[in-house]
Amino acid sequence: MRNLAQSSLPARAATGLAKGATLSSRRSAAASFLSLVLVGVLALFITSCSGKDPQDTLSSVGEVAKKQQELFWIIFAWAALVFVLVQGLLLFILFRFRRRSENEMPAQTHGNTRLEIAWTLAPVVILVSVAIPTVASIFDLAKEHDVSMQVKVIGHQWWWEFQYPGLGVVTANELHLPVGEVVAFDLQSADVIHSFWVPKLAGKQDVVPGRSNPLTIKVDEPGTFLGQCAELCGIQHAQMKFRVVVQEKAQFDQWVKDQRTPVQPPGDPAMVKGSLIVQQKCSACHTIQGLAGAVGKVGPTLTHIGGRGTIAAGVLNNTPENLARWIRDPQEVKRGALMPNLGLTEDEIQAVVPYLLSLK
Amino acid sequence: MATITGSMVGVLRRPTSHYGVWSWMTTVDHKRIGVLYGVTSFIFFLIGGVEALVLRLQLAFPDGKVVDPEVFNQLFTMHATTMVFLVIMPLSAAFFNFLIPLQIGARDVAFPRLNAFSYWVFVAGGVFINSSFLFGGAPNAGWFGYANLTSRAFNAGSGVDFWALGLLGLGTASLAASFNFIVTILNMRAPGMTMMRMPLFTWMTLVVAFLLIFAMPIIAVALIQLELDRSPLATNFFNPANGGDPILWQHLFWLFGHPEVYILILPAMGIVSEVLPTFARKPLFGYPAVVFAGVFIGFMGWGVWAHHMFTVGLGPVANSVFAVTTMFIAVPTGIKIFNWIATLWGGSLKFTTAMLFSIGFISMFIIGGLSGLTHASPPTDYQQQDTYYIVAHFHYVLFGGSILALFSGFYFWWPKGTGKLLDEGLGKLNFWLMIIGMNLTFGPMHILGLNGMPRRIYTYPSGMGWEFWNLIETAGSLVIALSVLVFIINVVRTSRNGKEAGPDPWDGRTLEWSIPSPPPEYNFATVPVVQGRDAFWIEKYGLHGGEGAHHAAPPSHTAGSGNGDGHAIHMPQGSYLPMVTAFGQTLMLAGVIFGYWLSGVGLVIMLGGVYAWCSEPVSD
């Protein structure tokens, strides 16, 4: 490079600083705005770690999510450092070198090879120090684990199916996991691409038709965690939610036992009426183990729907009123959902709802 | 056939008018085509902006009821498609068209009619995609159109077809324009304008043109495969049920899509590299480094595409490789930023509106770059992918980057194009509203993303901790809208009674400032002889510019003075045929939706247009 600086930058900086010190404190609007941004952005990040919000990625609970969060703070620290230094330098320059007279003609500096090399190498150093923990973390997360449980996740438009092959349990939209165990997920899709994401437990992994993607989750404390689909999958992508209930081992085993129990024929005549309507109207699409003919695979299993916290893939709380509203007109609750309006009479709905809610 | 077309050409004499609508529709003058690109893409900017406002209104409160979910999906798809393909790309093209011949000392582009063809294909493509709103619904699968959500089985409407065919059409506009500008820049530079003396904006245009001619065929292949899958032939490129692979689409799309990101940002970097030296009264610091960093970004842009796919399940090796390449693209980007800052260092900084927008660009682009670093790392990206954090990131790069720089370009070159200065008071109001608005809109998206809010959701319940920032964002988007309104008022007011700009209102450095504003049709009465970088600055201040000499002697080749007013200069005449050919091509594409007979009609019109184009007389 032949165009070397005509006057060296450090020298000019020194004289610049000296001149700057004697100037009045009039600040340009640009400078004050940038300092506002500087402080503001950092403050915003800090206020964002409240921890109470159900999908906060910065108050993670699962082991995988914790590792990802740790790495985030390392990279964020580097980014914040660069942000403060570079924006601060820019701010200083804008203030220091503003035009004071229209006749000013600054030195016509064309470049400086040493500086060019310096600000090529500085980012390289920072990037290497980000790349090393990144690659280490990628392989750490992909490591084979001693797995104590398998769960197969099947994404459907717009609900989640969870199969526990070792336990003979199939459920929907509510995943139960035992505390402290390493659970290996096998992610598959029945239709389009979805993405399986429980922010507090682990980063997302896409659910791709024709593929089977692995994901490992380990949670060391009980609790209920929210998850939702993270890849655009059609009209109700926003309402493809689920919850993860992490339980102590004994409670989890009890849940498994309940799930494996088929439903019993109802004794109460009102319930019998409900079960007959369900058999007639719902069984082509939904499975209810123990109810003759109810083996449909299109919609989520209803075998123990009464025991779930929500319906319609996390959209409504599972109350009699909400269940009635859903059955009355699913399209009113979740436009575009694949469940049609069945045209049940109000009388029929009032029979179906208590029956379904009795399936705990 | 030959005689029929021959006689048709006889009927369609080459238009000779220099005034009125018809002269604009048949123009092949690069400056007028630049203005047409600018006006048209600004209209699309308003459309895309209104779409964004509706999205923000829907999300202002939990359980929003402004639009239904289907319309929401259509609006975010069209917002992104519009802003990428119908705003930032053609707005950059407006600057390429207007400026490149002026900056390299040429009288027009290499292929003036091809230039007009690019414009008309762009207009027709933009109208075609947007017409889907009237024909049963706009595309609804996102601007990235991930397979297999775009298959007939999961997307029966024709919105996706409008999108795919429209993008195919727009691709030809980009290809034609790119070849045109590559030939123009390589072959039509004034004597003495060596490659390493070219203005930075010209350099970045050259890089972008090369990126386009390699990127567009990739998306064209993907779009044709998509349309074949959706056609009655029902191929299975992306259909997993019959052995196809939806991930193939993602590879093809992002192999196009990541260079596309640089296609969107490099022209902005070119603009900033012109504005900063002008208002610092210093040459660009480290010109060769800035040029090569731009070229290097262009190359490296091809090796990072899978960072859009970290959560797809490509495995740890692929994710590591793409993480590292992605991080290292920050090196040339950093070089550019440091060189811009060093350009300001020691300068005499005048904070005109154009300068404020360029400084805003640097500051906002740094934020976008740094947030990019956090999802260049796959483990952290697993949490950020498909959340509002990503939306924040690319709006800082594309709005804080590209759009601010394009506004800087407006304020900078407006006087050159119109002869009138835009009002600086309104301009500064425009700037402050826009930068405050964009930070209110896109800043909180970082927080929402980290707080677990996914992208592309039409609603969210209360209790997620998302209410407050969503409301702030919506308020911010209204501030952006207000800033655009101020810009429009500025344009309308100053076009009525703006101050005369004169040829060189900013003490410019490059050749476009050496000729009258607006420039005559032939640009340069005498072709300039270039003695170095910042050619016009050297003419004004001498080769060692600025140290002693102040406005030494008026530049010798300033157009129009004593050179016979350029009356002897032959300029290409207007032509109807680029418009006819573009119309025919768009009909061909529309026929895939409306019936193949229409494709036949379009084919005949297009071939007729090309034939007549080839046999058109040079002058009447």
The residue count for chain A: 360
Task: Scan residues 121-160 of B and list those with Cβ closer than 8 Å to A.
Answer: 140-142, 146, 148-149, 154
Whether residue B615 is contained in a domain is answered as no
Q: Does B344 touch chain A (CB under 8 A)?
A: yes
Structure tokens at B482: 């207000």
CA atoms within 13 A on the CB side of B232: 4
Provide the number of structural domains found in chain B: 1
| Reported confidence tier of residue B573, pLDDT bands at 50, 70, 90 | confident
How far is it, in rounded angstroms, from Cα A247 to Cα A233?
30
Packed helices B577-594 and B159-187: angle between N→C axes, nearest 10 degrees: 150
Question: Residue B400: beta bridge partners?
Answer: none
Q: Is the pLDDT of residue B454 over 80?
A: yes
How far is it, in rounded angstroms, from Cα A239 to Cα A259?
25
Q: Computed from CA positions of residues A76, A82, A87, A92, in that sequence, does the dihedral angle turn out positive or negative?
A: positive
Q: Does B242 touch chain A (CB under 8 A)?
A: no
pTM, whole model, 2 decimals? 0.92
Mutate: best of A58, A60, A81, A116, partner B, most B CBs <10 A = A116
DSSP letter at A203 equals E
- H-helix or E-strand spanning residue B134: none
- Give the tens place of pLDDT for each residue, B233-289: 999 999 999 999 999 999 999 999 999 999 999 999 999 999 999 999 999 999 999
Measured between beta carbons, which residues in chain A are less than 8 angstroms from residue B387?
A: 230
| Reported confidence tier of residue B138, pLDDT bands at 50, 70, 90 | very high
Q: Which parts of B414-472 are beta strand (E)?
A: 420-421
Measured between beta carbons, which residues in chain A are less than 8 angstroms from residue B335?
A: 116, 119-120
Q: Is the pLDDT of residue B564 over 50?
A: no
Q: Strand, helix or coil at B273?
A: helix
Whether residue B68 is contained in a domain is answered as yes
Closest CB to A97 among B246, B319, B349: B349
Q: Is the pLDDT of residue B152 over 80?
A: yes
- Give the tens place of pLDDT for each residue, A191-238: 999 999 999 999 999 999 999 999 999 999 999 999 999 999 999 999
Whether residue B189 is contained in a domain is answered as yes
Residue B488 Ramachandran class (φ > 0 left, ψ -120 to 50 alpha, else beta) = alpha
| Reported confidence tier of residue B550, pLDDT bands at 50, 70, 90 | very low
Measured between beta carbons, which residues in chain B are less than 8 angstroms from residue A238?
A: 69, 454, 456-460
Whether residue B163 is contained in a domain is answered as yes
Q: Is the pLDDT of residue B10 over 50?
A: no
- Give the tens place of pLDDT for each residue, B193-241: 999 999 999 999 999 999 999 999 999 999 999 999 999 999 999 999 9
Whether residue B299 is contained in a domain is answered as yes
**Max alpha carbon distance in chain A (Å)?**
99
Q: Is the pLDDT of residue A23 over 80?
A: no
The ipTM of this complex is 0.92
Measured between beta carbons, which residues in chain A are less than 8 angstroms from residue B378?
A: 134, 138
Cβ within 8 Å, pair B356-A30? yes
Q: Is the pLDDT of residue B18 over 90?
A: no
Mutate: best of A105, A186, A196, A207, partner B, most B CBs <10 A = A105
Closest CB to B289 among A116, A124, A208: A116
C-alpha angle A153/A155/A160, rounded to 5°? 75
Alpha-carbon distance B363 to nearest alpha carbon in chain A (angstroms):
7
Cβ within 8 Å, pair B350-A99? yes
Whether residue B322 is contained in a domain is answered as yes
Give me the domain span that covers residue B312.
30-520+526-559
Measured between beta carbons, which residues in chain B are less than 8 angstroms from residue A209?
A: 148, 240-241, 246
* Mean pLDDT of the region B22-44: 94
Alpha-carbon distance A88 to nearest alpha carbon in chain B (angstroms):
10
Cβ within 8 Å, pair A195-B311? yes
Measured between beta carbons, which residues in chain B are less than 8 angstroms from residue A65?
A: 383
Cβ within 8 Å, pair B331-A124? yes
Alpha-carbon distance A225 to nearest alpha carbon in chain B (angstroms):
12
Determine the residue of chain B that is closest to A131 in CA distance.
B324
- Give the tens place of pLDDT for each residue, B318-362: 999 999 999 999 999 999 999 999 999 999 999 999 999 999 999
- Give the tens place of pLDDT for each residue, A65-119: 999 999 999 999 999 999 999 999 999 999 999 999 988 899 999 999 999 999 9
pLDDT of residue A38: 64
* Residue matched to tokens 């003058």: B29
pLDDT of residue A144: 80
What domains, with CATH codes, occur in chain A? Answer: 149-260 (2.60.40.420), 269-357 (2.60.40.420)
Question: Residue B544: beta bridge partners?
Answer: none
pLDDT of residue A15: 42
pLDDT of residue B585: 97
Q: Is the pLDDT of residue A16 over 70?
A: no
pLDDT of residue B618: 72
Cβ within 8 Å, pair A98-B351? yes
How far is it, in rounded angstroms, from Cα A305 to Cα B573?
75
* Mean pLDDT of the region A307-328: 96
Q: Is the pLDDT of residue A26 over 70?
A: no
Residue A181 Ramachandran class (φ > 0 left, ψ -120 to 50 alpha, else beta) = beta
Cβ within 8 Å, pair B383-A141? no
CB atoms within 10 A of CB B44: 23
Whether residue B593 is contained in a domain is answered as no
Measured between beta carbons, which residues in chain B are less than 8 angstroms from residue A204?
A: 311, 382-383, 385-386
How far is it, in rounded angstroms, from Cα A78 to Cα B330?
13
Whether residue B599 is contained in a domain is answered as no
How far is it, in rounded angstroms, from Cα B61 to Cα B375?
28
Spatial CB neighbours of B153, under 8 Å, sequence gap ≥ 6: none
CB atoms within 10 A of CB B568: 9
Contact B204, B267 (CB under 8 A): yes
Cβ within 8 Å, pair B311-A204? yes
pLDDT of residue B301: 93
pLDDT of residue A30: 58
| Reported confidence tier of residue A46, pLDDT bands at 50, 70, 90 | low
DSSP letter at B189 equals P
Packed helices B89-104 and B112-131: angle between N→C axes, nearest 10 degrees: 170
* Mean pLDDT of the region B6-21: 62
Residue A313 Ramachandran class (φ > 0 left, ψ -120 to 50 alpha, else beta) = left
At B424, which CATH number?
1.20.210.10
